[in-house]
Structure 1
Amino acid sequence: MTDEDDSDRYRAPALDKGLDILELLAGIDGGVTQAEIAKRLGRSPNEFYRMLDRLVRRGYVTRLEGDRYSLTLKLFGLAQLHAPVRRLAAYATPLMRDLAVQSKQANHLCVFDRGAVVVVAQQEAPEYWGISIRVGSHMSLLNTGSGHVLMAFRSPEERSLMIAEYERHVDDNSQPDDYRDRLNMIRERGYEVMPSAQTGGVFNVSAPVLGPDGRAIAAITCPYIQVLNVPEAPSVDQVCQMIVATAKKLSELSGADVGKA
């Protein structure tokens, strides 16, 4: 049996059709119609109706105005949880440990996955007190420092896709009127500091870990609390500087040109 015969023997036409659509959409900005998809793939439009419907329902493709289809960030989110993220967490661990010792605070590393902010690494505070978030925890994209940073260092189009993924999984889709202005401000100053929306007396201090293209691939965050029984404990402003410095080191390890970021 030849390789070609063996390939035909194990064909999965429906799977091939779905992969053809995903690969096509991956190389197109702005979306395309069902008819355009069929034309580019050399098939009848009717062949793709059910497949597009399933891809939309499973969250891999979104339907835009004008009956155009575009990829969501679901595939990107799935990829983030595999080897690259494990490597990033491994690189980050000693830096996060140093950050915890210097800041007297806990910290964690997060990535975006299917509409949520997911903790992939965590470091405890060195003293008795600290706010720790468990590895594997899913947090809100819209009202956490990590979520703000992950969106701030993406394009407006990517932000919209991220929010659409978030809204697909939660009932609350409200956004503050000044939301875009805040993300732009975070991008300009390089970090986020905000009162926690979940815990009183806690400030989220977050900075982006950038990839080679200047986009955020992760966020490192410290849930800052004022430690009263440790006189030498750094202030929130000092912790901001430490977070930014640690994020810069991680970005360099990821291949980012932080001089241009």
Structure 2
Amino acid sequence: MNYRLYGEMMSDEERYRAPALDKGLDILELLAGIDGGLTQTEIAQALNRSPNEFYRMLDRLQRRGYVRRIDGDRFALTLKLFGLAQMHTPIRRLVSYATPLMRELAARTRQANHLAVFDRGRVVVVGQQEAPGYWGISLRVGSHIDLFNTGSGHVLLAFSTPEQRDMMIAEYQSDSGEDPPGDLDERLARISSDGCEAMPSAQTLGVFNLSAPVLVSNGSAIAAVTIPYIPLVDTRDAPDMAECTRLVVEMCRALSEMAGTIVRAGSTAE
């Protein structure tokens, strides 16, 4: 056989095949459309393969955090792919839209504020605005903060679908080993009803977390904005905590109106 001629006749699809990669992508794409996960045997049947072909691939996907075991022997997608997508263009665009609003919020409240998203088991600060005066509590961009004991974490959980919430909690527990507080469901129901969270900081005495969600059209939060509020005794005209809460909710409503455009634009190639 003339192998050179054979190679030239091969389609690009055949010439550049990567069977292991294809197998992994097949699994991810299959699980993306399944609620409740699938067993290794069910995955093999759906993809017309032998179950033994998927043992190592599922093990690697699980170790890398793309899938997790549920109900003993079933595999389901985690939020890792969602988190990776969130940190790509849509998040950069979200931060660019949020920055002038966060700057205005800081000026009106005399307080610092930050923008956070959920990413692979942690709440991550992706945007931050310093207080305009001498005093303020701020978090560095890139900081990882608690899911169960922060205003941002509570808001992201409260404004998520039941499926998203279960996945977020499972990923956080896997990463931290921490169990959710016993009153978490009651607190999240209250936050969902109130539209915001106002709570004493679990990390810093004298600080209150004032948090509100950035929502998309289905009512889910893609981000949270939090003011780490500290009383300012040397500034007579500084807004009080109730007014700062109102202002952060107002700012998040404005950003939420942009969020649908941000998500849609981020889903198209640039």
TM-score normalised according to structure 1 size: 0.94
Matches within 5 A, 1:239-250: 239-250=244-255
| CA distance in structure 2 between the partners assigned to 1:174 and 1:65 by the alignment | 18
- Which residue number in structure 1 is paired with residue 175 of structure 2? 169
- Which residue number in structure 2 is paired with residue 6 of structure 1? 12
| 2:144 equivalent to 1:138 | yes
- Which residue number in structure 1 is paired with residue 41 of structure 2? 35
SS at match of 1:231: coil
**Cα shift at 1:168:** 2.1
| 2:192 equivalent to 1:183 | no
SS at match of 1:20: helix
**Cα shift at 1:156:** 2.1
- Which residue number in structure 2 is paired with residue 227 of structure 1? 232
Matches within 5 A, 1:1-261: 5-171=11-177, 173-255=178-260
Instruction: Identify unmatched segments of 5+ residues in structure 1.
Output: 257-261
**Cα shift at 1:66:** 4.8
**Cα shift at 1:49:** 1.3
Q: Deviations over 1:182-214 (max 9, x none)?
A: 111111110011111111100000000012222
- Which residue number in structure 1 is paired with residue 268 of structure 2? none
Q: Deviations over 1:160-184 (max 9, x none)?
A: 211111122224x132211111111
Instruction: Identify unmatched segments of 5+ residues in structure 2.
Output: 1-6, 262-270
Report the identity percentage.
64
Look up the equivalent residue of 1:133 and give its one-letter code: L
Look up the equivalent residue of 1:79 and give its one-letter code: A
Look up the equivalent residue of 1:161 and give its one-letter code: M
- Which residue number in structure 1 is paired with residue 4 of structure 2? none
| CA distance in structure 2 between the partners assigned to 1:72 and 1:4 by the alignment | 37
Look up the equivalent residue of 1:136 and give its one-letter code: G
| CA distance in structure 1 between the partners assigned to 2:109 and 2:51 by the alignment | 59
**Cα shift at 1:34:** 1.3
**Cα shift at 1:134:** 0.8
Q: How many residues align?
A: 255
**Cα shift at 1:246:** 0.5
Instruction: State the structure with more CA Rg.
Output: 2
Tell me which moved more, 173-182 or 122-131. 173-182
**Cα shift at 1:4:** 5.6
Look up the equivalent residue of 2:171 and give its one-letter code: E
| CA distance in structure 1 between the partners assigned to 2:108 and 2:10 by the alignment | 61
| CA distance in structure 1 between the partners assigned to 2:83 and 2:9 by the alignment | 34
CA RMSD of aligned residues (A): 1.4
TM-score normalised according to structure 2 size: 0.91
| Runs of 4+ that moved beyond 3 A | 1-4
**Cα shift at 1:58:** 1.4
**Cα shift at 1:78:** 1.0
Look up the equivalent residue of 2:91 and give its one-letter code: V
